Amino acid sequence: MRVRLEDVARATGVSPKTVSRVLNEEPSVKESTRQRVLAAMESMNYRPSPAARGLAGSRSFLIAMLYDNNDNPASTYLAEIQDGVLDACDAHRYSMMVCPLRLRGQDFIRRVDALVAEHHIDGVIMTPPLTDNAALLRRLKELGVPYASISPQHREGSIGVCMDEQHAAKVLVEHLIELGHRCIAHIVGIASHGASRWRLQGYKDALAAAGLPFDPHYVVQGEFTFGSGVMAARQLFALPQEPTAIFAANDDMAAGVMWAANERGLKVPRDLSVCGFDDTPLATQLWPPLSTVRQPSRDMGKLATLQLMEVLRGRGTGLLVQVPYSLQWRESTSTPPQKS
Amino acid sequence: MRVRLEDVARATGVSPKTVSRVLNEEPSVKESTRQRVLAAMESMNYRPSPAARGLAGSRSFLIAMLYDNNDNPASTYLAEIQDGVLDACDAHRYSMMVCPLRLRGQDFIRRVDALVAEHHIDGVIMTPPLTDNAALLRRLKELGVPYASISPQHREGSIGVCMDEQHAAKVLVEHLIELGHRCIAHIVGIASHGASRWRLQGYKDALAAAGLPFDPHYVVQGEFTFGSGVMAARQLFALPQEPTAIFAANDDMAAGVMWAANERGLKVPRDLSVCGFDDTPLATQLWPPLSTVRQPSRDMGKLATLQLMEVLRGRGTGLLVQVPYSLQWRESTSTPPQKS
DNA sequence: GTGAAAGCGCTAACAC
DNA sequence: GTGTTAGCGCTTTCAC
């Protein structure tokens, strides 16, 4: 029937324990033995049983990807992250479970407890805003479950991946200023996300660096959704002096701004420049194509997972890796309209 | 430490096997015993170990969601399906593994073999075009792994979920005809997807029902992507007589059509009516909002999974459930332009 | 460096 | 209806 570890042992003429050692990459095996075992595994098409390994050992070779099912960013973002996590799992023969949590609704800690208790999860990958939920982080620490974060707010001591979003936002807005814009608005994302804070701060940094005044009227609250972008834009259009450029904290909201601009009869970028953040597929599917900051989500998912694996394999304590952003200048931005 | 089945047995004063019976909902347990065991499980906060169950028993309580990583539809579609699958898994205490396959690249069968061999998968959920891959279906049958399909082409004997896409497309195009359009084009999706065939056939049905001639020049090939929609639209705009309405086989391509219309200076819907199919979030994020057919993807994922569970729990053979579509008339469609 | 024995937490096949 | 025994395929502990 099934090829077992014992079969490999017999075929190689060693004990099961030695095969187990090879399987787990333990160092104390003579190289020649190791090679023979490996060859036998290969030729016999041996596949270790995760269930047996999980039951007998302390590791399950299972990680869970946690995300918030209420206030998550666009699903394309999560899908890309997930693909990246899977890439890393494949490479290290780990399996991944997907675990949507509802941050509102206070039983999400119990969901995590259940996950760990039942499946003996080895580690966790999290996306914002879970990365900054104190209760969740505390519980994971209590449970002794290592975790890696994608874009966590608190960077000291965190492992996972991040991007210098603040600087990216600053460079973005600086370019708008260079184009001649003086009245630049910003639409903020959900407060619990670090992204919202960083992108807002980058906006402020750029204004300050250019000696432009910061006017709170030009900063309106959004929720990272298309609809909230529409609402925010309408609010901005109602100001005595309309902005000539709007920097939305993500692409979905920027799409909302362009929608609202259409509604109002404004032509982008002639009457209004618009930029977003993230470079989701949407960005190039809008008319005109959206200027934005590219965030390599899939790579970020993969890198965060690789850092987690470092911890799980005892190779180190894991790092917070920083990935580079890149600005995508497309047709939604240009010089401001001439003063009438 | 951990609460085991044996602990529950001891606390209840029955044998481990009886607790096991209760856990697995076997009928041959006296109701009063069942209640006592259940109560003990609850109060002791007992959580069965999937690893132990998988190792000892014939079932793993694990299902895999398979999808094609090359020619898949928009990722938002897959994300919604996945959410639905997770809903169903939650309800039945199953776990789900995500398994992207590459249909091009001939080793995808081996990936499936590995998945089944290693994880002892109980069943599989598939999305198009995997649902119609003969090699894959054959292998799953050989392996004895039950599967449920989402929108499979071959409906006889299939279990899972489907929608009457052909009829939906027909109704959609009929409405365009009612609006006065006589020159309606269609952009087809990837050939390996049933969706492409059904939607094309519905288009033909509507023309035939209205006594309009079918002109192959007005049917161009797309790939379900935004970019292919742009290309296809450009092709249609180059025809001697431009269409007054374009029905794209999905929303992404419809977005491409609207993009190309913008590029050409056409105003939607004044100069051109556009419709899509699926009602992805994109549909309401375009300007103008897109008329389309709503497909309840999340429900479909859930329903397909529930049918699979019926099979896994031995409750029946499973059905192919049909879900209703609904037309979403938005602002991208109107009467055709006056002949000049 | 390698091996022997015990057991992880559960279910299968039987007996009662 | 319920209990007993054995064992799923590995890793652990400890011995050599």
> In angstroms, rounded to a whole number, what is the distance separating the alpha carbons of residues B330 and B94?
39
pLDDT at B75 > cutoff 80:
no
Give the type of residue at A113.
D
What integer pLDDT is reported at residue A327 of this predicted model?
Answer: 97
Same CATH fold assignment for domains A62-163+297-325 and A165-295: yes
Any idea which of B72-76, B150-154, B183-187 has the lowest mean pLDDT? Answer: B72-76
Which amino acid is residue B149, in one-letter code?
S
Peptide bond into A289 cis (omega under 30): no
A36 pLDDT exceeds 70?
Answer: yes
Q: Do B76 and A79 touch (CB under 8 A)?
A: yes
Instruction: Name the CA radius of gyration of chain B, rounded.
Output: 25
| pLDDT, tens digit (0-9, with 9 covering 90-100), for B113-128 | 988 888 989 999 999 9
Spatial distance from the CA of B112 to the C1' of D13 (Å): 37
pLDDT at B177: 98
Q: What is the CATH number of domain A62-163+297-325?
A: 3.40.50.2300
C-alpha to C-alpha distance for B214 and B194, rounded to whole angstroms: 21
User: Domain A165-295 classified CATH 3.40.50.2300?
Assistant: yes
Instruction: Give the pLDDT confidence score for residue B105 in this predicted structure.
Output: 73
Q: What is the pLDDT of residues A43-64, one digit of tens each?
A: 999 999 999 999 998 889 999 9
Tell me: pLDDT of A168 over 70: yes
How many Cβ pairs closer than 8 A exist between chain A and B? Answer: 105
Which residues on A lie below 8 Å from B72 (Cβ)?
none
- State mean pLDDT over A232-258: 97
Gap from B13 CA to D3 C1', in Å?
A: 12
Give whichever of A76-85, A113-122, B8-17, B246-255 has the largest mean pLDDT.
Answer: B246-255
- Spanning CA of A310 to C1' of D16, the rounded length in angstroms is 33
Tokens representing B4 are: 């085991």
pLDDT at residue number A73: 53
CB contact under 8 A, B114 and A47: yes
- In this prediction, residues A296-310 reach a mean pLDDT of 96
pLDDT at position B71 is 66
How far apart CA B151 and CA B197 sit, in angstroms, is 12
Model confidence at A308, pLDDT cuts 50, 70, 90, reads very high
Of all residues in chain A, what percent carry a pLDDT higher than 90?
80
- Residue B103 has a pLDDT of 84
How does residue A174 score in pLDDT terms, banded at 50, 70 and 90? very high
How far is residue A76's CA from residue A287's CA, in Å, rounded to a whole number?
19
In the prediction, which pLDDT does B85 show?
Answer: 96
Write down the pLDDT at residue A315.
75
Residues of chain A with pLDDT > 70: what percent? 98
Separation of A146 CA and D9 C1' (Å): 27
Contact yes or no for A50 and B118 at CB 8 A: yes
| Helices (H) then strands (E): counts for chain A | 12, 12
Q: Per residue in B246-277, is it b (16+ CB within 10 Å) or e — as a string?
A: bbbbbbbbbbbbbbbbeeeebebbeebbbbbb
Give how far B198 is from chain A: nearest CA, Å: 26
Q: Where are the domains of chain B?
A: 5-47, 62-163+297-325, 165-295
**Cβ distance of A78 and B83 shorter than 8 Å:** no
Specify the range with the lowest mean pLDDT, choosing from A186-195, A237-246, B27-36, B104-113.
Answer: B104-113
- Examine residue A288 and say whether the peptide bond preceding it is cis (omega within 30 degrees of 0): yes
Residues B133/B103, Cβ–Cβ less than 8 Å? yes
A273-275 β-sheet, strand order: A219-221, A184-188, A245-248, A273-275
* Strand C contacting residues by CB (7 Å): A 13-18, 21, 28-30, 33, 52, 55-56; B 1-2, 4-6, 16-17, 19-20, 23-24, 46-49, 52-53, 55-59
Residue A277 in this model has a pLDDT that exceeds 80 = yes
CATH class, domain B5-47, is mainly alpha
pLDDT at position B74 over 80: no
Pairing of strands A123-126, A62-68: parallel
* Strand-strand pairing, B95-101 and A245-248: unpaired
Token pair of B287, please? 């300007």
Q: What is the pLDDT of residue B29?
A: 87
CB-based contacts of A66, cutoff 8 Å, min separation 6: A99, A101, A112, A124, A125, A126, A127, A130, A136
Percent of chain B scoring above 70 in pLDDT: 98
> Is the Cβ atom of A16 within 7 Å of strand D at any atom?
yes
Whole-number Å distance between alpha carbons of A262 and A19 = 67
SS3 letters for B135-187? HHHHHHHHHCCCEEEECCCCCCCCCEEEECHHHHHHHHHHHHHHCCCCCEEEE
B31: which strand partners?
none
Is B13 exposed, middle or buried, given 0-12, 13-18 or 19+ CB atoms closer than 10 A? exposed
What integer is the mean pLDDT of B135-154?
Answer: 95
Q: For residues B142 and A49, give the distance between their C-alpha atoms in angstroms, rounded to a whole number.
A: 21
Report the share of chain B in percent with pLDDT over 90.
79
Does A90 or A73 have the greater pLDDT score? A90
CB of A57 lies under 7 Å from some atom of strand D: yes
Task: Output the pLDDT for position B27.
Answer: 86
* pLDDT over 70 (residue A339): no
pLDDT of residue B102: 85
Q: Give, in order, the Cα–Cα distances in Å from B79 to each of A78, A322, B61, B297.
A: 9, 27, 22, 9
pTM metric for this prediction? 0.92
pLDDT of residue B338: 83
Largest CA distance in chain A: 89
Of B79, B97, B226, the CB nearest to A75: B79
Least confident range of A5-9, A79-83, A101-105? A101-105
Interface of B with A (CB under 8 A): 2, 47-52, 54-55, 60, 69, 74-76, 78-80, 82-83, 86, 95-98, 100, 114, 117-120, 226, 252, 255-256, 258-259, 262-263, 281-282, 284-288
Q: Which positions on chain D have an atom < 7 Å from some protein CB? A: 1-5, 7-13
| Interatomic CA distance for residues A125 and A305, integer angstroms | 7
Token pair of B311 as six digits:
């099979």
**Which are the contacts of A140, defined by CB distance < 8 A and separation ≥ 6?**
A112, A124, A147
Predicted local distance difference test score (pLDDT) of residue A105: 73
